[in-house]
Amino acid sequence: MSKPKRLHPIVSILHTGKRIRNLLIPLLALNFSGAKDGKEQLWISLAGSFIAIIITFFTGILSWLRFTYRFENDELRIEYGVFVRKKRYIPFDRIQSIDLSEGVLQRLFGLVKVQIETAGGGGGEEAEAVLSAITKEEARVIQEFVAAAKDPEINTTEAVQEKEEIYKITTNQLMLLSLTSGGVGVVISAVFALLSQLDDFIPYKRLFGSGIEKWALHNLILICIFVFIGFFIAWIIALVMTTMKYADFSVVKTEKDIVISRGLLEKRQITIPLNRIQAIRISENNIRQILGYGTVYVESAGGSAANQEGANVTLLPIVKMQQVRSILEPYLPEYHFTYSFTPVPKRALLRYIIRSSFVVVPIVIVALIFLKVWGLLSLLILAVVIGNAVLKYKAAGWSLDHQQLSLRFRTVNRITVLMKKNRIQSLEMRESHFQRKRELGTIEANVKSGVSGAGGTVIDIERSDLLKIYDWYSRKKKNRDTADC
């Protein structure tokens, strides 16, 4: 039994800062609205904002004071709550993963943030337990207690687990990862989201006047230059963000876990128990596919609504596709990284094209009728859609390898999912009226991962292949060998 402990006082600053950040836009909107209604209303709005900030500050301190944790009877016991006292008892043997991260403030004080996921945690908005700022020694003690609870033969004071380094990112790989990432879309989306929030209380029309449309028509080249510069800046920001996120990325295997470490400003360590791995997913965007590179993910049975990364963990951020097998098979021998897939039949190509373009074709016809010459540009959109459909057709395929089902398909990226039979939660066969006429069908397989699960779908495979996969899954489903579990 240990005495109740509090988190580091820096937690009160972290929680208060997060709450004030969430209040910032509503308070700004309130004060702008008050300014429109006169000075008296403005002062009332400012006073209300000040009171809200003071209350937030004091509740942040109180929440820190009221939060305690201790170790007792092979449990992590947490008590918290400002007005309503809550208690949470977590047995060590139920803890499935412990993620460590170090933000800027934590690193200044030599602290770490600990996120604990449990079996059947429910996938709520947060992890089962979060210790926002504790010492590294305390985090190590928790890890040792959990390891001892899962294996009583482990001596928590003397045990030293053998570690094997699976992967460590090089400078060249980090640069290639940053240059080929899709982070620019995230940056642009964030900018538009911010502008949409500001649109409610910034009078753009009053600031720019009604002549903005005429100016835009006469300065199209200048606008294009500004748009190009904006995209270039967004690309640079995305490059820097990706570099900081994946700097010092390394993967180490212990006896029962895979430990992933990464980050420059915010260091993070993710521990994935080997027995919690549900599937392996390999993603190749168009640029990386051309260069022969991809990203490997682990689908784990952890995670929550606010921590999806706990379920979908990057294992190899960038790697040559031909090297995936040699890197991972020695450490994950139960998975077979196949390069051979049975493709969908040739008669499915037309269905892929029709399915992708049936919405676009009417738009193209309308554009050609009403926009005349300019409508010809819509044909470029149709060509892109058809090209993407052909890529989806070429990517689609499946493979059976003893106890493993592998599916390959394309959304935006080409995705390959490797699933062990004893991890597949559901396998569904579907046949539409038009598929039945052509003796085709759709296969969908899912594993437990995070809140919503994960898996893959391949459309328009041969009906005979569909039955073969279904027979493989159902024939031994009830009598699975315990050695595969």
The CA-to-CA distance between both ends of the chain, in Å, stands at: 35
Per-residue pLDDT, averaged over 432-456, amounts to 86
DSSP assignments along 348-411, one per residue: GHHHHHHHHHTTHHHHHHHHHHHSTTGGGGHHHHHHHHHHHHHHHHHH-EEEEETTEEEEEEES
Q: Are 310 and 298 in contact (CB under 8 A)?
A: no
Identify the band that residue 483 occupies on the pLDDT scale cut at 50, 70 and 90: very low
User: 441 or 25: which carries more pLDDT confidence?
Assistant: 441
Q: Give the residues across from 297 on adjacent strands.
A: 281, 314
Per-residue pLDDT, averaged over 255-260, amounts to 87
Structure tokens at 38: 């006169």
pLDDT surpassing 60 at residue 455: yes
Q: Give the residues across from 5 on adjacent strands.
A: 69
The dihedrals phi and psi of 282, each to the nearest 5 degrees, come to: -115, 125
Q: What is the pLDDT of residues 104-116, one digit of tens each?
A: 888 888 889 988 8
pLDDT for position 295 = 95
Model's pTM, two decimal places?
Answer: 0.77
pLDDT surpassing 60 at residue 320: yes
469, with CB counted inside 10 A (0-12, 13-18, 19+), is: buried
Count of beta carbons in the 10 Å neighbourhood of residue 221: 8
Identify the band that residue 273 occupies on the pLDDT scale cut at 50, 70 and 90: confident
Structure tokens at 146: 């959990």
Q: What is the pLDDT of residues 61-118, one digit of tens each?
A: 888 888 998 888 888 889 888 888 888 888 887 787 788 888 888 888 888 998 888 7
The DSSP output letter for 55 is H
Identify the band that residue 392 occupies on the pLDDT scale cut at 50, 70 and 90: very high
CA 292 remoteness from chain centre: 23
Per-residue pLDDT, averaged over 411-432, amounts to 92
Identify the band that residue 156 occupies on the pLDDT scale cut at 50, 70 and 90: very low
pLDDT for position 239 = 82
pLDDT for position 394 = 95
DSSP assignments along 313-347, one per residue: EEEEEEEEGGGHHHHHTTT-TT-------EEPPGG
Per-residue pLDDT, averaged over 379-392, amounts to 93
H-assigned helices in 5-73: 10-36, 39-66
Per-residue pLDDT, averaged over 257-283, amounts to 89
Average pLDDT over the chain reads 81
pLDDT for position 45 = 76
pLDDT for position 442 = 96
